[in-house]
């Protein structure tokens, strides 16, 4: 859907943020339709698509429902806009779910069968020997954990938990219907049950199909008439008031506990459910008609990432590039020595995240190091980063960690790790009221023997300090001892200590809420000026999401001035390419083995290229309601590496799509050209760089 700019005098338009996101998620689903991928990798993309959609309903759709119902104060016209959007979201979601069914039933299941894995989708398909086996399995393993709850309209109103799979059962007794629901016992019994092999074939069944087959055993004297699964999604967003830190901690704990009690945003049901049965359920559970979403016979397909592989010889996923370990960064004080003489860029997951851990370890053991400061947004469980910071505190270093408690779905983990660090003697700065800190930065301060400032080190990244996601997300980190950047980072941490109360001037870093937007406008305006003067203006922007209308307008104006603009945007992109005002703008989307997460910005500057990396996307929340940090990349060799990476991604003709002015994902594949799969091509590029160093 295209939306007009609020100003009636403007001809500029935008894609809907939510429909653009659905376009991205559909691109994820298309990976499940790629028969060149190993079958279990395709199945995993079905799981990712479904999990993404679940979160979308918990957050975005839940917000629109609250607005549409008049539960949130909004500006004039926003309520009708949300009502209209909800209809379009439902329509597009239903289309995509139908496509998921096609891909699964016509592509994935036959491929499993070709590999001698029979994944039963209907009890009627089952061999008699398996029915006998499952009857015994039901009696011994499943039945003891089933607790039927009666459904009685206007008499009993049972609470349904978020994201749990339930089975609704309709029984007949003395020509009258009675209704029950059962929560599927996932914690006790596997969702996917492996059955005895027959010949060279292996077999798998769904737990809910087994329950359905033998539901009569639970209700002697009743005639089972119909049973179907359903689930609900609840509003999972947490709104924290602008309050003091001690009150914030208590409020956050309370709201995280209440998350599973949020308003219903979706009632997903088996589309085979008879209409009168569905009507009874919706009335009993007080489900509104606009909360209904049709689903497949089997719901919660995000569970497919747990699907067992009974064939040990079957390749489950592609052989992905393994992180490159750089031996010249592994010796004692090797990181400090190298960065002391020359800036360093590491590209994860192509390079090992272990080098960053080594960087912290050097600070732990360097007698000149006095302070370590770092931001925490999302960290891994049992994090090596956290353990190293604790070791630093125990070794007498002053360690300061800013912990963003409001990182969605990571609130509990962040709170637990913060309390663990605090107990170890680390100084914790908690969330700032009304502001989220999304920056991914670290600072190591050193002093000389006279007590003055010695050479110190800064790290600015596009990704979190998380060893787990560093193997899955494509991110970039810059190590530098540039004194101006170091001083800027120190100002940032001082500002965080002061809870953002004092104005700060940054000389080299671009920081959201301070100088980021004015500097971006200047950079774009410079390319416009060059183009107007007959020179070649060129901008390449790589990010996860592009939404802010003010900066989109700047890009539209640059396009009208003749600036060539290439956008590499993985997810939401509200900018519409291919219109009269965007004729010089192209949008590329890449979905592959690793999640493209880096933010890299290139401005040609008449040959004197300017390049930046950092944490923010061009979303309203990033630019106006968060602390984000962007650094220039100053070293000529490192700038060229970033330019090469961008050009490789723009020439990808395997996993890259062009997003057109109707939000379609159009693959760039050209049979006559040599295949360029950018993630694997760039990995080889980095390997070649290492080989050249050894010569």
Are residues 480 and 522 both part of a single domain? Answer: no
For residue 395, tell me if it sits in a domain. Answer: yes
- Residue 688's alpha-carbon distances to 224, 644, 685, 693, 695, in angstroms, are 66, 13, 5, 9, 11
Q: Which of 503, 536, 571 is the last residue of a domain?
A: 503
Residue 405 phi/psi, 5-degree rounding, is -75, -15
pLDDT band at 246 (very low <50, low <70, confident <90, very high): low
Are residues 219 and 343 both part of a single domain? Answer: no
Q: Which residue, among 105, 97, 14, 410, has the nearest Cα to 236 in the 3D structure?
A: 410
Overall average pLDDT of the 662-670 stretch? 92
pLDDT for 614 equals 98
Q: Which of 283, 310, 337 is the last residue of a domain?
A: 310
pLDDT band at 251 (very low <50, low <70, confident <90, very high): low
- Residue 389's alpha-carbon distances to 283, 571, 634, in angstroms, are 54, 33, 29
| Domain that includes residue 426, residue range | 327-503
More confident residue, 93 or 187: 93
pLDDT for 50 equals 96
pLDDT for 10 equals 67
For residue 662, tell me if it sits in a domain. Answer: yes
Question: What's the first-to-final CA gap in the chain, in angstroms?
Answer: 55
More confident residue, 572 or 158: 572
Mean residue pLDDT of the chain comes to 91
For residue 551, tell me if it sits in a domain. Answer: yes
pLDDT for 7 equals 42
Q: Is the pLDDT of residue 1 over 70?
A: no
pLDDT for 236 equals 65
Are residues 589 and 664 both part of a single domain? Answer: yes
For residue 530, tell me if it sits in a domain. Answer: yes
Are residues 476 and 587 both part of a single domain? Answer: no
Cis (ω within 30 of 0) for the bond into 349?
Answer: yes
Mutual angle of helices 411-423 and 245-258, in 10-degree steps: 140
Are residues 413 and 556 both part of a single domain? Answer: no
- Active site (catalytic) residues: 438
Q: Is the pLDDT of residue 516 over 60?
A: yes
Range of weakest confidence among 43-52, 380-389, 572-581: 380-389
* 235 within 8 A of 263, measured Cβ to Cβ: yes
Q: Is the pLDDT of residue 259 over 60?
A: no
pLDDT for 449 equals 84
Q: Is the pLDDT of residue 260 over 90?
A: no
Are residues 294 and 356 both part of a single domain? Answer: no
pLDDT for 458 equals 98
Task: Say which DSSP state 138 is in.
Answer: I
More confident residue, 327 or 406: 327
Overall average pLDDT of the 370-377 stretch? 94
Rounded to whole angstroms, the Cα distance separating 574 from 619 reads 10
Q: Which CATH number characterizes residue 160's domain?
A: 3.30.1840.10
Q: Is the pLDDT of residue 596 over 90?
A: yes
Q: Which CATH number characterizes residue 599's domain?
A: 3.30.870.10
Rounded to whole angstroms, the Cα distance separating 408 from 466 reads 16
Are residues 188 and 282 both part of a single domain? Answer: yes
What domain count does the chain have? 3
Mutual angle of helices 411-423 and 384-394, in 10-degree steps: 20
Overall average pLDDT of the 289-313 stretch? 91
More confident residue, 279 or 695: 279
The predicted-structure confidence for 21-32, as pLDDT tens digits, reads as follows: 999 999 999 999
Q: Which of 447, 480, 503 is the last residue of a domain?
A: 503
pLDDT for 6 equals 45
pTM higher than the cut 0.85: yes
Are residues 259 and 355 both part of a single domain? Answer: no
Q: What is the dihedral of CA 258, 164, 270, 57, to 10 degrees?
A: 40
pLDDT for 2 equals 58
Are residues 431 and 499 both part of a single domain? Answer: yes
Are residues 273 and 300 both part of a single domain? Answer: yes
The predicted-structure confidence for 447-467, as pLDDT tens digits, reads as follows: 998 888 899 999 999 999 999
For residue 125, tell me if it sits in a domain. Answer: no
pLDDT for 380 equals 76
For residue 277, tell me if it sits in a domain. Answer: yes
Are residues 585 and 552 both part of a single domain? Answer: yes
For residue 43, tell me if it sits in a domain. Answer: no
Residue 295 phi/psi, 5-degree rounding, is -130, 180
For residue 46, tell me if it sits in a domain. Answer: no
pLDDT for 617 equals 98
Rounded to whole angstroms, the Cα distance separating 105 from 312 reads 23
Are residues 530 and 481 both part of a single domain? Answer: no
pLDDT for 670 equals 76
More confident residue, 175 or 398: 398
pLDDT for 581 equals 97
């Amino acid at each position: 859907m295209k939306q007009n700019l609020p100003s009636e005098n403007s001809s500029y338009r935008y894609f809907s943020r939510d429909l653009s996101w659905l376009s991205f998620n559909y691109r994820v689903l298309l990976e499940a339709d790629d028969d060149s991928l190993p079958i279990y990798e395709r199945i995993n993309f079905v799981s990712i698509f479904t999990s993404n959609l679940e979160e979308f309903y918990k957050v975005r759709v839940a917000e629109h429902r609250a607005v549409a119902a008049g539960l949130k104060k909004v500006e004039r016209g926003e309520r009708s806009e949300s009502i209209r959007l909800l209809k379009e979201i439902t329509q597009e979601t239903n289309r995509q779910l139908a496509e998921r069914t096609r891909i699964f039933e016509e592509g994935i299941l036959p491929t499993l069968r070709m590999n001698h894995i029979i994944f039963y989708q209907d009890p009627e398909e089952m061999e008699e020997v398996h029915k006998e086996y499952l009857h015994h399995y039901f009696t011994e393993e499943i039945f003891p954990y089933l607790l039927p709850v009666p459904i009685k309209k206007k008499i009993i109103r049972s609470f349904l938990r978020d994201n749990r799979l339930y089975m609704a059962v309709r029984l007949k007794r003395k020509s009258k219907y009675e209704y029950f629901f059962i929560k599927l016992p996932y914690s006790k019994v596997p969702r996917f049950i492996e059955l005895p092999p027959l010949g060279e074939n292996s077999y798998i069944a769904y737990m809910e199909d087994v329950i359905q087959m033998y539901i009569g055993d639970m209700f002697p004297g009743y005639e089972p008439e119909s049973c179907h699964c359903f689930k609900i999604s609840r509003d999972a967003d947490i709104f924290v008031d602008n309050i003091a830190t001690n009150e914030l901690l208590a409020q956050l704990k309370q709201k995280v506990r209440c998350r599973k009690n949020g308003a219903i945003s979706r009632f997903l049901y088996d589309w085979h459910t008879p209409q009168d049965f569905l009507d009874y359920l919706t009335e009993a559970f007080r489900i509104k008609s606009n909360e209904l979403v049709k689903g497949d016979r089997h719901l919660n397909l995000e569970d497919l990432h747990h699907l067992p592989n009974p064939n040990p010889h079957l390749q489950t996923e592609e052989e992905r590039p393994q992180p490159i370990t750089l031996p010249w960064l592994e010796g004692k004080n090797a990181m400090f020595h190298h960065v002391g003489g020359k800036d360093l860029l590491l590209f994860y997951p192509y390079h090992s995240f272990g080098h960053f851990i080594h960087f912290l370890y050097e600070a732990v053991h360097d007698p000149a190091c006095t302070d370590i400061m770092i931001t925490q947004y999302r960290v891994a469980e049992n994090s090596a980063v956290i353990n190293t910071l604790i070791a630093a505190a125990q070794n007498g270093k002053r360690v300061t960690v800013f912990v963003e408690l409001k990182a969605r779905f990571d609130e509990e983990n962040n709170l637990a790790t913060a309390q663990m660090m605090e107990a170890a003697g680390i100084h914790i700065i908690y969330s700032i009221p009304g502001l989220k800190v999304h920056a991914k930065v670290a600072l190591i301060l050193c002093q000389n023997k006279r007590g003055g400032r010695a050479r110190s080190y800064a790290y600015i990244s596009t990704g979190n300090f998380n060893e787990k996601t560093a193997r899955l997300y494509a991110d970039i980190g810059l190590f530098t001892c540039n004194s101006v950047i170091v001083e800027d980072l120190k100002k940032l941490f001082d500002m965080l200590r002061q809870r953002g109360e004092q104005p700060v001037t940054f000389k080299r870093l671009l920081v959201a809420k301070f100088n980021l937007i004015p500097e971006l406008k200047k950079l774009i305006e410079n390319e416009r000026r060059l183009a107007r003067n007959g020179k070649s203006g060129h901008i390449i922007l790589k990010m996860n999401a592009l939404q802010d209308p003010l900066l989109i307008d700047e890009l539209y104006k640059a396009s009208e001035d003749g600036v060539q603009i290439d956008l590499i945007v993985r997810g939401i992109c509200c900018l519409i390419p291919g219109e009269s005002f965007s004729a010089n703008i192209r949008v590329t989307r890449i979905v592959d083995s690793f999640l493209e997460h880096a933010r890299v910005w290139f401005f040609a500057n008449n040959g004197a290229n300017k390049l930046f990396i950092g944490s923010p996307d061009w979303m309203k929340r990033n630019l106006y309601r968060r602390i984000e940090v962007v650094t220039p990349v100053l070293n000529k060799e490192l700038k060229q590496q970033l330019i090469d990476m961008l050009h490789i991604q723009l020439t990808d003709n395997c996993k890259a799509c062009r997003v057109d002015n109707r939000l379609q994902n159009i693959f760039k594949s050209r049979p006559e050209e040599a295949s360029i799969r950018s993630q694997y091509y760039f990995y080889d590029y980095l390997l070649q760089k290492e080989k050249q160093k050894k010569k």
